Amino acid sequence: MRRITGYIVLILIFGCAGLGVWAQAPNQQGFEIMKNLDIYSNLVKELNQDYVDEINPGELTQTGIEAMLESLDPYTNFIPESQIEDYKFITTGQYGGIGSLIHQQGEYIVISEPYEGSPSDKTGLKAGDKILEINGKQAKGKSYEDVSSILKGQAGTTVNVLIQRDGAGKPFEKIITRENIKIDNIPYYGIVGKNIGYIKLTGFTQNAAKELKQAFLKLKEGTSLKGIIIDLRGNGGGLLNEAVDIANIFVERGQEIVSTKGKMADKNHSHLTMSPPVDLNIPVVILVDRSSASASEILAGSLQDLDRGIVLGQRTFGKGLVQNVVPLSYNAQMKITVAKYYIPSGRCIQAIDYEHKKKDGSFGKIPDSLIRAFKTKDGRTVYDGGGINPDVITNPRKFSNLAMALYGKYLVFDYATKFVREHPSIAPADTFEITDSIYNGFLEFIKGKDYSYKTKSERALEDLKNIALKENYFDAIKEEYDHLKIRMEKDKQEDMKKYSDQVRELLRMEIVTRYYYQKGKIIAALKHDPELVDAIATINDTEKYTGILSGKFVQPKPEIPVKSEDDDENPVD
């Protein structure tokens, strides 16, 4: 953790947006602040005294604060004392609790996955367990947030949960002693292919660099590594200094990895590598996707800019702002955007323009006309304004509507719960497969259950019908409409065969996780991972690897897509 000033606690990388400069002189600016705070104070007092119904001043104030901050960017947030535990988790990877993922399924909260070795795991909680009561109070109808906050707490304290387990008969009680739960930055590392190291990095919390260095050194022990793959897919970021220190493993001491520039001079910093490198020559491939953000983009982008590694996957999210967490009164805190960050080529990879709000209150992408070209250390052309564009671009894997319906309606999850109850053990994570017998058992399980879904074609057909009805043309096209609708329904009935490979994959991953936890899930996923195959092939093809880094293969200018309903403006850090 690096102290920048006396009141700044830490540096986080959460997003990229510009804060407009103040147009007023400092004295007038201070007067405006004091005047409006006085007005606000009087307003709340009058409401409390005269409003017809009772009010909650605390809730009103928090609503006002959140509305004010909403006008800036999604990453400038007020953190009340009640949420401090959640923000500690973001920076340290630790929290006090029972150590389990949960989700809402109907009116109940259900255990998704106990962390291996956690209090919930040691107490015997299992995925699929339904929480009926917590500390004697009914949990039915409670939200995910409500239950999560109750389950968290100081290490050493206990929480009583009443559980309903499928196939277990009567509900039973579990008394769980909370512990400090540490989520590993690196849930798995190992050898893939022939002498190629693989490290899955899921976060940039404290000690991420230390953990990655240790993993890298262990992979090198007794093995002549031909290359290293660092998997940043799904990694939403974290601490800036950890990204700098990880880059330091592969680049020389004294190299600038990222610089920050803000409105105030004290926010302008150059972050250099401070330690001797571990390996300056080993080929490096970084895997990224649309959810790779913030610190992930600093690491991937700096190694790309320094021609030290090849980035493979899809264009990253595009977050380029630095945030500080500062203390407020009454144990509250504020996460505030204070600067933009720039990677070695000089580019800021911010994709969303938070400085200019549209009339409807939304923000747009950085216009294509403003995207600029930059040069890497050895002269390759790279671009700003839209995340990190990979050197080797791959197509993201997309699941069918059928697969997503089966997964989203928890039928895959529920079948895995049934499967575990009937099968005490399975083959190792890297060899387990969904046999025809298991798949047929799943088909039998979902008979009569709702997994309906609408395709884009069906929605377009409905839109056509509604428009035709309004314009009095529907009678003329009704016969063709009915014919198309019947054909679409018939085709959907074939989806279970057409997309059986996808359904089998979802079943395999869910079942493996029940027996081998997160580590096993990653191992199982790598077995059928086309991007891992591409990464291994890139390292093994010396001519291609060196050709990319030398600029022989020119990186295309990124196409910045129009925002769709599937885009996420604020991935969780």
- Look at residue 521 and tell me if it is in a domain: yes
Query: Which residue's structure tokens are 């025809």?
Result: 436
Split into its structural domains, the chain has a count of 4
- Look at residue 63 and tell me if it is in a domain: no
Residues 332 and 465 in one domain: no
- Look at residue 54 and tell me if it is in a domain: no
Residues 299 and 153 in one domain: no
Residues 289 and 429 in one domain: no
- What span, in angstroms and rounded, lies between the C-alpha atoms of 532 and 562? 28
Residues 327 and 198 in one domain: yes
> pLDDT value at position 202?
96
Amino acid identity of residue 209, one-letter, is A
Residues 225 and 290 in one domain: yes
Contact by Cβ (8 Å): 173, 181: no
Distances (CA, A) of 46 to 43, 49, 57: 5, 5, 11
> pLDDT value at position 46?
92
- What span, in angstroms and rounded, lies between the C-alpha atoms of 457 and 482? 14
The pLDDT tens digits of the residues spanning 395-423 come to 998 899 999 999 999 999 999 999 999 99
Residues 104 and 222 in one domain: no
Indicate the pairing of strand 284-288 with strand 188-192: unpaired
Tokens of 267: 């926010």
Residues 368 and 438 in one domain: no
Contact by Cβ (8 Å): 73, 356: no
Q: Which of 305, 391, 495, 573 is catalytic?
A: 305
> pLDDT value at position 22?
39
- Give the single-character DSSP code of 81: G
Active site residue 294: yes
Q: Which of 319, 365, 492, 521 is catalytic?
A: 319
**Count of C-beta atoms within a 10 Å radius of residue 554:** 9
Active site residue 470: no
If 0-12 CB within 10 Å is exposed, 13-18 middle and 19+ buried, where does residue 444 land? exposed
Distances (CA, A) of 283 to 66, 211, 423, 539: 46, 20, 43, 7
Query: Which ranges in 393-473 belong to alpha helices (H)?
Result: 401-408, 411-422, 436-445, 456-470
Residues 176 and 217 in one domain: no
Residues 369 and 411 in one domain: no
pLDDT under 70: residue ranges of the chain = 1-26, 85, 357, 359-362, 490, 553-573
Query: Which residue's structure tokens are 């049934």?
Result: 418
> pLDDT value at position 26?
57
The pLDDT tens digits of the residues spanning 520-567 come to 999 999 999 999 999 999 999 999 999 999 987 665 555 444 333 333
> pLDDT value at position 13?
44
Residues 385 and 300 in one domain: yes
> pLDDT value at position 490?
67
CATH number of the domain where residue 148 is located = 2.30.42.10
How many angstroms separate the first and last alpha carbons of the chain?
17
CATH number of the domain where residue 332 is located = 3.90.226.10
Burial of 368-407, coded b for 16+ CB within 10 Å and e otherwise, reads eeebeebebeeebebbbbbbbbbbbebeeeeebbbbebbb
- Look at residue 67 and tell me if it is in a domain: no
- Look at residue 527 and tell me if it is in a domain: yes
Residues 252 and 135 in one domain: no
Indicate the pairing of strand 363-365 with strand 352-357: antiparallel
Residues 268 and 372 in one domain: yes
Q: Which of 391, 426, 442 is the endpoint of a domain?
A: 391
Q: Which of 138, 167, 182 is the endpoint of a domain?
A: 182
- Look at residue 22 and tell me if it is in a domain: no
**Count of C-beta atoms within a 10 Å radius of residue 343:** 28
Indicate the pairing of strand 100-105 with strand 108-114: antiparallel
- Look at residue 18 and tell me if it is in a domain: no
- Look at residue 489 and tell me if it is in a domain: yes
> pLDDT value at position 385?
82
Q: Which of 130, 160, 182 is the endpoint of a domain?
A: 182
Whole domain around residue 305: which residue ranges? 188-391
Select from 17, 558, 31, 13 the least CA-distant residue to 290: 558
> pLDDT value at position 287?
98
Active site residue 305: yes
> pLDDT value at position 368?
76
